[in-house]
Amino acid sequence: MYDFLRFLHVLLAIAAIGSNLTYGMWIGWAAREPRQLAFALRGVKMLDDRIANPSYVLLLITGLAMLYVRRIAWTTPWVLAGLILYAVVAVVGLRGYSPVLRKQIAALESGGPDAPAYQQLARRGLRLGIVMAVLVVVIVFLMVTKPALWG
């Protein structure tokens, strides 16, 4: 059972992180082709809503299931640190990035790519995306290396 859960967990991580890694390319490419910018932003939103975010939810579920199957305490330092960072990423994503992306699409549609409102939202989305990407990389590091952090 553990091996199946681990396989599923890794597959979900590939889907979630792989989707996220494409966002910068979609938006960067479209910034050079402003006619494509709305399509790219809606594509990022679709990937986020339909692939990345559901995969992150299932990652939590399969991760907790692996802890249960292997009888690993959630207070194990690398697990606890990963869970705390996961919660931070979830809050930043749900309360920060997703609303900014929706507003960014609306600002683009109402004012165009050169509008100050759009530009401000684009910068904020970029900053939030970078923060989340760094945190996700740290989580992956913790889950793969399982370092002894304290205790």
| 151: pLDDT strictly greater than 80 | no
Domain ranges of the chain: 2-145
pLDDT at res. 60: 97
Residue 54's closest CA among 92, 20, 4, 88?
20
Give the helix ranges, DSSP H, for 33-115: 37-47, 53-70, 77-92, 98-111
- pLDDT tens digit sequence for 54-104: 999 999 999 999 999 999 999 999 999 999 999 999 999 999 999 999 999
Query: What is the Cα–Cα distance from 131 to 11, expressed in whole angstroms?
Result: 23
| 53: pLDDT strictly greater than 90 | yes
Residue 45's closest CA among 15, 25, 19?
19
pLDDT at res. 77: 94
Averaged over 7-36, what is the pLDDT?
A: 94
